[in-house]
Chain A
Amino acid sequence: MKVLVAVKRVIDYNVKARVKSDGSGVDLANVKMSMNPFDEIAVEQAIRMKEAGTVDEVVAVSIGVKQAQETLRTALAMGADRAILVVAADDVHQDIEPLAVAKILKAVVDQEQPGLVLAGKQAIDNDMNATGQMLSALLGWSQGTFASEVAVDGDHAVITREVDGGLQTIKVKMPSIITVDLRLNEPRYASLPNIMKAKKKPMDEKTAADYGVDVTPRLEIIGTAEPAARKAGEIVGSVDELVAKLKEAGAV
């Protein structure tokens, strides 16, 4: 079985995000970017399935600016076999919306014919949590979202989902699109030899136009603002004083 893993280049989770002065979004110029952490978990899952023998090829795909090739190299260094870069924007600040991404992914799936698509449950930049679901609808495939456990067995897969209040186990028909949650696995570090080998693995470069997908945004960003700065705390002298203050604030 072939697995397609969708990975997104996002602002690194360690970077302190700053809003651009015109309020149009987060400043991404000269900021460290890396693979969406949930997508890293998806890549790890695909590689583990390959190591277990249930998968014979792992193809990573990324849609965005040309620099997303660095993100794909990370996937290749972790162990993906080859990569497909779909250039859909020139400006690092242009976010490709979930529907456009899902349409491109559908076209890639039509071409590659994988038996499974893996992706992160959401990207940490826009937190949309929509691409996997939209892709499922476009393909007419089953979907398993928020997966914390995945077991593929022939023509079906058993997926444990992290839902509010606990875990839910579902059985879906293959082929399927599975979006993964934080606790599915702990992604490996790419080893030195694999980092060096990643350079030699094949990476196809396509454009959104190659797949006939219009990526023009349908959403208009009205404004972006930084969260209000945390107010300074207050040191209280005793528990009684603490309780009194909390009552005063209506917290107890």
Chain B
Amino acid sequence: MDFAPTEEQVAIFDMAYEFGQKHIAPFAAKWEKQETIPKDLWPKVAELGLGGVYVSDDYGGSGLSRLDATMVFEALSMACPSVASMLSIHNMCGGMIDKFGSEETKQKWLPQLCSMEKIFSYCLTEPGSGSDAAALRTRADRTDTGYKLNGNKAFISGGSYSDVYLTMVRTGDVGPRGISAVLVEDGTPGLSFGALEQKMGWRAQPTSQVQFDDCEIPAENLMGEEGRGFTYAMAGLDGGRLNIAASALGGAQFALNTALQYTGERKAFGKTIDQFQALQFRLAAMEIKLQAARVFLRQAAWKLDEKAYDSVKYCAMAKAFVTDVSFEVANDALQLHGGYGYLADYGIEKIVRDLRVHQILEGTNEIMHLIVSRQMIADRG
């Protein structure tokens, strides 16, 4: 057993970290205020192969493993979890199309996805179905030339901002087998968006409802096979959850690094506050949590790469554990900063706000526990 990252993985992490520090971190606060990410960032991201990390190189992707990808998103997130997560969602769509799309679908969409000429969003959740995603009600009825969509998707990262929406729709009966995945391009008649949601965190990435009113798409925009959409959506989430966890970890690591620095500078009662044992213990506990989270995350990613039978359970466990401890560590980092941590200038309160949603989206941590316990009980027999 070898716990050391490979030479390539170190190079991947360093590249993503340096790119993030230079091209994202200095602007993170500004973008948050502007509630958007300038689109001219993406070609720079794509040039480094970050637009299609799992997509095979035949279509312009980088062909990385899930484990490699966790390094990318952890490193980028040290600059801004909100921007890193936006990229993670785009990549989740890329991974799904690469894995499940027909040759024609791949040829048509993947090169634009990898070059980030087109930004992709993932649309599963609806106003009335979140954790119970298979209950989704957005309909896609057959027409002579394709499908006609009616319904609403909620909490869509990149809603009104992205160029293509990979949308889970009901083409058949109730239940998971009646669901298909389709691609809807921005500008399609009948596609509209709700107002931008005012969120606690992740404020740099626009989020809105995505609405379909007699929105007609050609038959070729079906991704994969009809009736398999829910399977694709869940498979996408397994990898997506790893990246959401990796992004939480990167944000928390940044918060811990900042707090470690601060406690060595801030003085109280005549000494720097890192000389107080209570705070030393706090720092140690934070470090322990993040190191444990990192090892666990990488093991789950490795399981998914190896297609281990229990990889879904591991992805769920890692998502719940890593995002929970990352939030705790970010919150502790804020506490170590005292009143200054509460001020926007120090960048810590933003991390706390950003990381809160990692415990909620791509499957709430409660749903992660459900996945884990179901597998445990099934294994027991």
CB within 8 Å: A-B pair count: 44
CB neighbours of B372 from chain A (8 A): none
CA distance A198 to B12 in the complex (A): 12
Which of the segments A123-131, A133-141, A187-195, A207-215 contacts the partner chain? A187-195
Assess whether A74 is in contact with B11, with CB atoms less than 8 Å apart. Answer: yes
- 21 residue pairs of the A-B complex, CB under 8 angstroms, read A34-B14, A73-B7, A73-B11, A77-B11, A190-B15, A191-B15, A191-B48, A191-B62, A192-B12, A192-B15, A192-B48, A192-B50, A192-B62, A192-B64, A192-B72, A193-B49, A195-B11, A196-B62, A196-B64, A198-B8, A199-B7
Which single residue of chain B is at the shortest CB-CB distance from A34? B14
Question: Does A112 lie at the interface of the complex (its beta carbon under 8 Å from any beta carbon of B)?
Answer: no
Which single residue of chain B is at the shortest CB-CB distance from A196? B8
Which single residue of chain A is at the shortest CB-CB distance from B12? A195
CB neighbours of A191 from chain B (8 A): 15, 47-49, 62
Residues of A within 8 A of B (CB): 34, 70, 73-74, 77, 189-196, 198-199
Q: 4 tightest A-B contacts by CB?
A: A192-B49, A192-B62, A191-B49, A191-B48
* Shortest beta-carbon distance from B6 to chain A in Å: 9
CA distance A194 to B49 in the complex (A): 9
CA distance A193 to B49 in the complex (A): 6
CB neighbours of B15 from chain A (8 A): 189-192, 195
Residues of B within 8 A of A (CB): 7-8, 10-12, 14-15, 18-19, 47-50, 53, 57, 62-64, 72
Which single residue of chain A is at the shortest CB-CB distance from B11? A195
Contact of A70 among B7, B12, B19, B49 (CB under 8 A): B7
CA distance A195 to B65 in the complex (A): 13
CA distance A74 to B57 in the complex (A): 21
CA distance A19 to B11 in the complex (A): 27
* Shortest beta-carbon distance from A34 to chain B in Å: 8
Assess whether B48 is in contact with A189, with CB atoms less than 8 Å apart. Answer: yes
CB neighbours of B49 from chain A (8 A): 191-194
Which single residue of chain B is at the shortest CB-CB distance from A73? B7
Contact of B8 among A34, A189, A199 (CB under 8 A): A199
* Shortest beta-carbon distance from B2 to chain A in Å: 17
* Most A C-beta atoms less than 10 A away, residue of B12, B19, B49, B72: B49
CB neighbours of B62 from chain A (8 A): 191-193, 196
CB neighbours of A195 from chain B (8 A): 8, 11-12, 15
CB neighbours of B11 from chain A (8 A): 73-74, 77, 190, 195, 198
Which single residue of chain B is at the shortest CB-CB distance from A197? B57
CA distance A57 to B240 in the complex (A): 41
CA distance A192 to B69 in the complex (A): 10
Which single residue of chain A is at the shortest CB-CB distance from B6? A199
Assess whether B18 is in contact with A189, with CB atoms less than 8 Å apart. Answer: yes
CA distance A73 to B12 in the complex (A): 12
CB neighbours of A70 from chain B (8 A): 7, 10
Which single residue of chain B is at the shortest CB-CB distance from A186? B22
CA distance A74 to B10 in the complex (A): 11
CA distance A222 to B8 in the complex (A): 39
Extra contacts besides A34-B14, A77-B11, A189-B18 (13): CB < 8 Å: A70-B7, A73-B11, A74-B11, A189-B15, A191-B48, A191-B62, A192-B49, A192-B62, A194-B49, A195-B11, A195-B15, A196-B8, A196-B64
